[in-house]
Amino acid sequence: MNTQNKKIKFNLIDLIITLIIVLILAAAAFLIVSSRQSKMETRHKGNMSFTVRISSVDESALPFIEQGHTVKDSVSGAVIGEIVAVRQEKTKYYGTVAKQTEDGYELPVSTYEDKYDVYVTIVATAGVDDRGIHYVGDTRILIGSTVYFKVPSFTSVSHVIDFIPMVVE
């Protein structure tokens, strides 16, 4: 009887509710995206170079860190820059028992035979914001900043030890 002719009735109130929900979601998405974009757009762009230190690298891994390699962020996968210089020093070991000297005591220092601290200089496309803070992608480039270093077949945590500020015109 009535069930055979039953139609889905288009309720105006339901339409209003649906439109309100869609508007709220669209506004939220717009606010989030535009906030991120405005942060990026206020940055002056250019090239900068910075040096990171990778501590205690096994001797066998040294050949994987070479000039010319592209460095990526191992967390986000974003390209950071290109290696322009590599330098290594044997990793220091600081003893836990004081060493006696003529003047008293000092901290004993020696070096590992097969571990190296690797200093990698990277050239990257960067941005600098109104405060003078440099960014490569979303990574702040400051002395002490963590850079999740990745080159083919090698990843490690590294820390910025030096950078040359970008010249902003």
At closest approach, how far in Å is the CB of 17 from another protein?
A: 5
Please give the structure tokens belonging to residue 95.
Answer: 């003893």
Tell which positions 9-48 bind another protein, by CB under 8 A: 9, 11-14, 16-17, 20-21, 24
In the complex with another protein, the residue whose CB is nearer, 133 or 152, is 133
Residue 92 binds another protein, judged by CB under 8 A: yes
126 touches 48 (CB < 8 A): yes
Residue 6 binds another protein, judged by CB under 8 A: no
Residue 141's DSSP bridge partners are 134
Of positions 75, 85, 143, 164, contacts another protein by CB under 8 A: 143
Query: Which single residue is written with the structure tokens 């002490």?
Result: 144
Cα–Cα separations (whole angstroms), residue 43 to 1, 128, 166 = 69, 5, 12
- Give the torsion sign (CA, 73, 78, 79, 81): negative
Residues listed for the chain: 169
Please give the structure tokens belonging to residue 58.
Answer: 């096994």
Of positions 43, 69, 90, 140, contacts another protein by CB under 8 A: 140
Residue 144 binds another protein, judged by CB under 8 A: yes
Question: Would you tell me which residues interact with another protein (CB under 8 A)?
Answer: 9, 11-14, 16-17, 20-21, 24, 92, 94, 96-98, 100, 104-107, 109, 131-133, 140, 142-145, 161-162
